[in-house]
């Protein structure tokens, strides 16, 4: 089969790209190794930056998000058993974030793409990238995992295939540099059937460290807690999990966390990672394929969308104006934003987690950082600007 842009992956990066390209009349096909059900049911990120919310609406995909998403004009930070409201909206000229889960975004993107006549081939196997240093690159894959061999002949290949996909590996090792930081803690995340306990997200660093209270719907809540990244989930009984949540969210003003049955639980490791450059020949990598942030700043999904917005503009300039300049600068343009998101995610992560490898001095500095957000408007504004999404420069 032949298309202009062959996209590996039907996650946020790959699907937003397909929609953005369609808007400017460029054809694309997505191949995806997982089934549609799997893609639509995997629970991941939750927070959309203000401009991603606007983009969903511009693309005609925002109807359900506006109906079911939760608009937040601030977040709560908690330490020393006290809460502090960060007025995100007031500090950023009225910008807000929306809590609308990644798998709901993906359902909207997939349904929209298919109803536009776009092609997404789910359940493929054996994805192989060829000819990216020639004018005729191609992607080989097998339908239904191990079925007939098929090929997408295209002008450009996009690796929107997550951290473990083949996209990044197709850039010769000598042509890329990878920067990485592994954190000595992970997140245990749960979904619980319970009413909301608090009107906004709470990020807390208390006693044994970090916890986050977020939401999914009026009767399903999402909570995270810092844990050993190598721990087995079977070591965490529901009672132990709730005990830790009560300790970490505890205050002295009579507030209490609402418990409910735990519907799902799992542990993820935390890492920071950047691959430079994000392109080689006719291959461009985007999203988690190129960079990972620890989830504390809620940046992963948003950064994936930022990459493909830059890429769609560069491809538009190439096809419409025959200008190569933006395509050549794709990686440099993206990396400016990527490193700022890496910085913010690292700042939120180190400030809000208890790291046993750090000295007591460093732990005190993190509480001073939190207190600065409370007492300094400049510090609070910096956090707020990063949280809602920095402007594109």
Task: Compare residues 45 and 315 and give the one whose CB is closer to ligand DHB.
Answer: 45
Chain centre distance of CA 354? 23
Residue 165 binding ligand FAD, by CB under 6 A = yes
CA-CA-CA-CA torsion for 304, 307, 312, 317, nearest 10 degrees?
180
Q: Closest distance between ligand FAD and the C-beta of residue 152, in Å?
A: 11
Catalytic member of 156, 183, 203, 224: 203
Regarding 130 and contact with ligand FAD (CB under 6 A), the answer is no
Catalytic, 387? Answer yes
Nearer to ligand DHB by Cβ, of 9 and 295: the residue is 295
For position 45 contacting ligand DHB by CB under 6 A, the verdict is yes
DSSP string covering 299-311 = -HHHHHHHHHHHH
Active-site entry in 101, 137, 294, 295: 295
109/373 with CB nearer ligand FAD: 109
* CA-to-CA separations, 149 to 139, 146, 165, in angstroms, rounded: 11, 8, 19
Q: What are the residues whose beta carbons fall under 8 Å from the beta carbon of 5, sequence distance 6 or more?
A: 17, 21, 26, 27, 28, 154, 155, 156, 157, 158, 315
- Bridging pattern class, strands 47-48 and 28-31: unpaired
310 is a contact residue toward ligand FAD (CB under 6 A):
no
Q: What is the DSSP letter of 83?
A: E
Among 112, 118, 295, 389, binds ligand DHB (CB under 6 A): 295
* Residue 270 contacts which entry, ligand DHB, ligand FAD, none (Cβ below 5-8 A, type-dependent): none
CB 268, min distance to ligand FAD, A:
4
Assess whether 229 carries a catalytic annotation. Answer: no
Structure tokens at 137: 């690159």
Write the DSSP symbol of residue 165: S
Classify each residue of 137-162 as buried b or exposed e, where b means 16 or more C-beta atoms within 10 Å of its C-beta.
Answer: bbbebbbeeeeeeeebebbbbbbbbb
Token pair listed for 186: 């992970």
Q: Which does 39 bind (CB under 5 to 8 A by kind): ligand DHB, ligand FAD, none?
A: ligand FAD
Can 295 be counted among the known catalytic residues?
yes
* Nearest of 103, 158, 390 to residue 289 by alpha carbon: 158
Q: Is 95 marked active-site?
A: no
Stretch that binds ligand DHB, among 39-47, 108-116, 161-169, 260-268 (CB under 6 A): 39-47
Question: Quick one: which segment of 10-18, 66-74, 149-157, 178-186 binds ligand FAD (CB under 6 A)?
Answer: 10-18
Q: Would you say 6 or 101 has its CB closer to ligand DHB?
A: 101
Binding site for ligand FAD (CB under 6 A): 8-14, 31-34, 39, 44-46, 102, 124, 127, 160-162, 165-166, 268, 287-288, 295, 298-301, 304
């Amino acid at each position: 089969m032949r298309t202009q842009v062959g996209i590996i992956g039907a996650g946020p990066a790959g699907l937003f790209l397909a929609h953005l390209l369609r808007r400017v009349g460029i054809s694309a096909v997505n191949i995806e190794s997982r089934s549609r059900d799997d893609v639509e049911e995997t629970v991941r990120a939750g927070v959309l930056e203000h401009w991603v919310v606007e983009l969903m609406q511009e693309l005609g995909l925002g109807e359900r998000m506006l109906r079911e998403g939760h608009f937040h004009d601030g977040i709560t930070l908690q330490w020393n058993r006290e809460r502090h409201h960060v007025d995100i909206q007031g500090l950023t000229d009225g910008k807000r974030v929306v809590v609308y889960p990644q798998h709901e975004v993906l359902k909207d993107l997939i349904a929209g793409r298919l109803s536009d006549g776009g092609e997404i081939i789910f359940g493929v196997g054996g994805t192989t990238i060829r000819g990216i240093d020639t004018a005729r690159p191609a992607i080989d894959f097998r339908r239904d995992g191990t079925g007939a061999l098929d090929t997408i002949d295209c002008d450009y290949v996009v690796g929107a295939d997550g951290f473990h996909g083949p996209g990044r590996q197709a850039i010769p090792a000598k042509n890329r540099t990878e920067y990485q930081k592994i954190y000595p803690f992970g997140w245990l995340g749960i979904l619980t059937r319970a009413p909301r306990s608090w009107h906004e997200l709470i990020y807390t660093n208390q006693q044994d460290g970090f916890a986050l209270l977020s939401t999914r719907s009026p009767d399903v809540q999402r909570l995270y807690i810092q844990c050993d990244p190598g721990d087995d989930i079977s070591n965490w009984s529901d009672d132990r999990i709730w005990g830790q949540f009560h300790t970490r969210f505890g205050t002295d003003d009579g507030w209490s966390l609402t418990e409910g049955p735990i519907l799902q639980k799992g542990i993820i490791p935390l890492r920071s990672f950047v691959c430079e450059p994000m392109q080689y020949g006719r291959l461009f990598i985007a999203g988690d394929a190129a960079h990972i942030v620890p989830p504390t700043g809620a940046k992963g999904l948003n950064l994936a969308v930022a990459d493909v917005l830059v890429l769609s503009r560069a491809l538009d300039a190439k096809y419409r104006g025959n200008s190569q300049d933006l395509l050549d600068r794709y990686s440099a343009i993206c990396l400016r934003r990527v490193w700022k998101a890496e910085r913010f995610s690292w700042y939120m992560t180190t400030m809000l987690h208890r790291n046993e490898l750090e000295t007591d001095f460093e732990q005190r500095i993190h509480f001073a950082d939190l207190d600065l957000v409370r007492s300094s408007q400049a510090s609070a504004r910096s956090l707020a600007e990063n949280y809602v999404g920095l402007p594109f420069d």
